[in-house]
Amino acid sequence: MRRTSLLLMQGAVAVVIIAFWQIASTTDLIGDPNNISFFFSTPLAVAAQIWMWFATGTIWHHLGITLWESVLAFVIGSVAAVGIGFWFARKPRLAAVFDPYVKAANALPRVVLAPIFTLWFGLGIWSKVALGVTLVFFIVFFNVYQGVKEVNTTILANARMLGMNDRQLLRHVYWPSALSWMFSSLHVSVGFAVVGAVVGEYLGAAGGLGYLIQQAEGVFDVAGVFAGMVVLAAFVLLIDWIVTLAERRLLVWRPEFSKSGR
């Protein structure tokens, strides 16, 4: 009951926005419709464009590229971050030496790296993957680092009293703790993987959703730009939903993810 009424209300928001958009861009209630539709296009034109993409099937190619880049960026960034985060957390001196460099690298706006990556990795997918990795890496790295550092001392003492050696502590205590911190930032890191891919495509590519939007912008095809954004938003929502499913499976032991709690 509550779920359906929530869905209805969420749908109503979209209907209101689209209705307002339609009215503003086709009638002179708000202003000159020619002017407004030039800058904002019209819902029908955008829908027609999306329909075209799916009917002809051209969109799948671009979606596939963006998805593949995002997945690669997420996996490579996460694996590297878990490894290095673990290593640093267990070696405080090493972490102290690298601390200013990690902070400096993280403070750098990633967009400035995009041209360099294009130079290094070419116009193909790898320059976009690299951009995504630089975004994903730091989120996961800081979380894993924190997770290993802040293992509850009583749990640790208990594990040691239960007879665990260093290797077993790593496997049964540090590792699950670090992973749970990593998973708690899953939405953000997956989102950043997509951002890296799309921004990279936008700045120079031969395919992908970012490329599609950039192409439309280049010819002032406002309907194309909006259609690209709508498809991108749907794509991100879908991925976010998959992440939520994964999270519920992986973090059943956490109070906030147990089924009875919802």
* Residue 176 contacts another protein per CB under 8 A: yes
Out of 105, 158, 233, 241, point to the residue binding another protein (CB under 8 A): 158
Long-range contacts of 105-109 (CB under 8 A, 24+ apart): 105/138, 106/138, 106/142
Q: State the Cα angle at 195 between 225 and 20, rounded to 5°.
A: 40
Give residue 32's region: left, alpha or beta (phi > 0; psi -120 to 50). Answer: beta
Count of residues in contact with another protein, rule CB under 8 A: 23
Q: Which is nearer to another protein, 176 or 218 (CB)?
A: 176
- From the list 2-10, 103-111, 156-164, 206-214, the region that binds another protein by CB under 8 A is 156-164
Is 246 in contact with 179 (CB distance < 8 Å)? no
Q: Which is nearer to another protein, 10 or 153 (CB)?
A: 153
Q: Which is nearer to another protein, 204 or 248 (CB)?
A: 248
Q: Which is nearer to another protein, 89 or 133 (CB)?
A: 89
Could you tell me which residues come within 8 angstroms of residue 230 by beta carbon, excluding any fewer than 6 positions away?
46, 50
* Residue 91 contacts another protein per CB under 8 A: no
* Residue 162 contacts another protein per CB under 8 A: yes
* Residue 173 contacts another protein per CB under 8 A: yes
Site for another protein, residues 179 to 218, rule: CB under 8 A: 180
User: Where on the chain is the footprint of another protein (CB under 8 A)?
Assistant: 154-155, 157-165, 168, 172-173, 176-177, 180, 252-255, 258, 260
